[in-house]
Amino acid sequence: MEAIDYLREMVAIPSTFPNEQKMGEYCQEKLESLGFSVQRIPLEEGRFNIVAKRGENPTLAFMGHMDTVPLYGEWDTDPYQLTEKEGMLYGLGAGDMKGGIAALFSALGSTTAPVMIILTVDEENNSAGAHLLAKNPEIFSGLKLIVAVEPTEHGTDTEGIMLGRRGRAVYQVNVQGTSAHGAHVERGTNAIEKASELVLALRDFPLKTNTNIGDQSLFVREISGANTSLSIPENASFQIDMHLVTDQSDASERERLEEFLQTHYPACTVELFDRGLPYNMPFYTPQDTEGIGLLREIIKEITGDCSFSSGESVADENVFAQFVPAISCGPIGRNYHSANEYVEKRSLLNCAQIYQELIKKW
């Protein structure tokens, strides 16, 4: 099958997390028809990751996620029917990231070389599927490179290689005030006011910049506090959503945040917000890692150029990169997580050829 045919079938299968079951069944059927031994690794009822192998002891793996985000906005086409307009293929998940999986499946039909395929659920939520696989690191034994078929965040018109991604963590800042009667505000310390001052102080927080995966960033995503009776509020809190860069961790930045905020108001503490899963840490894979030079030459042969970049946000690659060098190389598209998502037809076909050549020459 051609990549476009695979993509047409995939887009017609709704797979917004947590409803990936039909997409998983489809992928399993196709991989088995391509000569793979397929293992389901269940996350919960009706949701499972796929780890598929072909050949003895593969050292190259490709990965992708089977879920999409929900429908957002007003679409000009049916989001569950692949629609071609002016060289663009529109549909929910067409770019992020059923297009990459479709190109991969097309490539797999042109060679019988050994390779591993990893397909996850929940990437668009909290990467629960990837973190489940991380509990069994033997899955990655013997692998030398993982290629994610995620769309490449380039800002260019040619396919390329993403060598790393920023990480992410969320922190909760707890602010302690002093209660007093509301008629005598001078006798209390309003925790909501202090929290507001700390939010504004974050404008001066020293962010790390110009790393090999970009700049650190943060924003305040929630603030809360309330009084009881006619009293000055004595408790407030707010949450900071932060993207991490090279040599940073959720623990290191918690310490830095707390030290910084306490210089402005000592009666505050910072803790890592517990989301029930680990956060995805930043990673960078050097250009001289085995296989990257080969992939770059293949891309240049097919498209005429190949650039390196890094991803601005987190993905399942952040999880797997702690075990195996990981990169991303996927088709170009636009409007991810919004209405009228699309993948470029030309790029989809390029990627199918790129993956095919990499598997053959590996």
Structural tokens at position 108: 């797999």
In sequence order, the β-bridge partners of residue 231 are 181
Task: Find out whether 38 and 52 touch, Cβ atoms under 8 Å.
Answer: yes
3-state SS of 142-203 is: CCCEEEECCCCCCCCCCCEEEEEECEEEEEEEEEECECCECCCHHHCECHHHHHHHHHHHHH
Element holding 89 (H helix, E strand): strand 88-90
Q: Which of 20, 96, 122, 123 is catalytic?
A: 123
Helix (H, G, I), strand (E, B) or coil at 83: strand
Give, in order, the Cα–Cα distances in Å from 280 to each of 43, 44, 118, 127, 245.
18, 21, 18, 8, 11
Task: Find out whether 307 and 160 touch, Cβ atoms under 8 Å.
Answer: yes
Given the structure tokens 């029930």, which residue do they identify? Answer: 276
Q: Which amino acid would we find at residue 209?
A: T
- Whether 123 sits among the annotated catalytic residues: the reply is yes
Q: Which amino acid would we find at residue 285?
A: T
CA–CA gap between residue 299 and residue 306 (Å, rounded)? 6
Q: Which of 67, 122, 150, 341 is catalytic?
A: 67
- Alpha-carbon torsion 253, 254, 258, 261, what sign? positive
Q: Cβ contacts of residue 242 below 8 Å, gap of 6+?
A: 168, 169, 170, 171, 216, 217, 218, 253
- Whether 67 sits among the annotated catalytic residues: the reply is yes
**Cα atoms in the 13 Å half-sphere on the side-chain side of 243:** 16
Task: State residue 109 phi and psi, 5-degree precision.
Answer: -80, -5
- Pick the closest to residue 169 from 277, 43, 260 (CA basis): 277
Residues taking part in catalysis: 67, 123
